[in-house]
Amino acid sequence: CAKQAGKNEVRFFASAMHGAAQEQAQLERRLRRALDSGAFRLHYQPVVTLGGAESSTFEALLRWTDAELGPVEPDRFIPAAESSGLIVPLGHWVLEEACRQLRGWHDAGHESFRVSVNVSPLQFEQATFVDDLTATLERHGVSPAALTLELTERLIVRDLSGAQHKMKALRACGVEVWIDDLGAGQTALSYLLRLPLSGVKIDRSFVQTLDDTGTGQMVQAMVALARALKLGVVAEGVETPEQLRSMQTLGCEQVQGFLLGRPMPAEAVVPWVGGRALEAQPGAQPGSEEL
Ligand code: C2E
Ligand code: MG
Ligand code: MG
Ligand code: MG
């Protein structure tokens, strides 16, 4: 009987696997179609500099609404795009669209606007990545200084010397490289020493567990390391005024999160910046956070 139960379990497991594989294949088909039909959009989330300079960096975040599935979260479709290789053409589209948007903003007089783009390991590892990127910037007449790339620790673990080489090339042409989701992976921090980085983004999980013993000290340690290496620091996922105050106390100079601004369509960005400028004026309504 135990044997029989085991068999059933195996059969159940096999059919669940089959179902998951089918679902994956279906998702990939839909992704491919979405790419062909231009169904992807970029939203932009502000990265805010505390106590000073007008914020003008925005992280580009992919958005996709499927006709039948409805809005699909990046955390669901990015892995599918990565495992199918679709992330390469999709990543191309993201860079193309981000540069087109930057050019539009710069032409409209917002010369200080910068965009930060997430890049998947597979995309970054393409032999022509750096050449393609510089060609895209040139085609749109966008200065490399207006672009930041966000890479994850995953990539560095996969191929440290390859990553070093490409990052150097990017830095040489003026594109900034940041490490995203710092602390979420298993990178030895010593890796950071060997990469020509401009900054690090501290993973959202730290901000969200600030009440736990030790989290504050870890953030402080990351900030201290970044300072020693002369890197910028962004705290991700700030949702409450308390979290904002804590991150400020811990020495984070830049923050990103729903409290400061949600990801928004490109056309909402200029009005958002205008609204913040108004808030910053003396006599602004009490209650709007003093940042
Ligand atoms: P990420 O690069 O770490 O982006 C930050 C994520 O945190 C975004 O999720 C953003 O909407 C979310 N977020 C920002 N502030 C808050 C907050 O205060 N609270 C909470 N709970 N969440 C916040 P999103 O847009 O769903 O993207 C998820 C991930 O998908 C990104 O994480 C990134 O790894 C990936 N992704 C998004 N767009 C792209 C892309 O164009 N290319 C690649 N390769 N990956 C992308
Ligand atoms: Mg990111
Ligand atoms: Mg992140
Ligand atoms: Mg993430």
> Atom 3 of ligand 1 has which residue's CA nearest to it?
181
Pocket test for ligand 1, best of 65, 118, 181, 244 (most atoms within 8 A of CB): 118
pLDDT over 80 at 208, yes or no: yes
For tokens 């490399």, the residue is: 144
Which one is predicted more confidently, 183 or 34? 34
What pLDDT shows up at residue 17?
65
Pocket test for ligand 1, best of 40, 41, 42, 61 (most atoms within 8 A of CB): 61
150: closest CA among 105, 219, 202, 86?
Answer: 202
Q: CA 246 to CA 208: how far, in whole Å? A: 11
Least confident stretch, 4-18, 113-127, 166-180: 4-18
102: closest CA among 113, 117, 89?
Answer: 113
pLDDT over 60 at 283, yes or no: yes
Q: CA 189 to CA 168: how far, in whole Å? A: 19
- Name the 3-class secondary structure at 179: strand
Distance (angstroms) between ligand 4 centre and the Cα of 181 equals 6
pLDDT over 60 at 286, yes or no: no
Q: What's the complex ipTM? A: 0.98
Which one is predicted more confidently, 179 or 279? 179
What pLDDT shows up at residue 113?
97
Q: CA 39 to CA 286: how far, in whole Å? A: 41
The chain-wide mean pLDDT, for the chain, equals: 89
Question: E strands within 20-108?
Answer: 40-49, 57-66, 70-72
Give the burial class of 84: count Cβ atoms within 10 A of its Cβ; 0-12 exposed, 13-18 middle, 19 or more buried: middle
74 lines ligand 1 (CB under 6 A): yes
Per residue in 242-276, pLDDT (tens digit) is: 999 999 999 998 999 999 999 999 999 999 999 88
261 lines ligand 1 (CB under 6 A): no
> Atom 41 of ligand 1 has which residue's CA nearest to it?
62
Number of helices (H), then strands (E), in the chain: 12, 10
Ligand nearest to the CA of 60: 1
List the structure tokens of 34: 């979405």
50: closest CA among 206, 233, 264, 184?
Answer: 233
pLDDT over 60 at 287, yes or no: no
Maximal C-alpha separation, the chain: 78
Please say whether the beta carbons of 136 and 96 come within 8 A.
yes
What pLDDT shows up at residue 194?
85
What pLDDT shows up at residue 145?
96
Distance (angstroms) between ligand 1 centre and the Cα of 20 equals 24
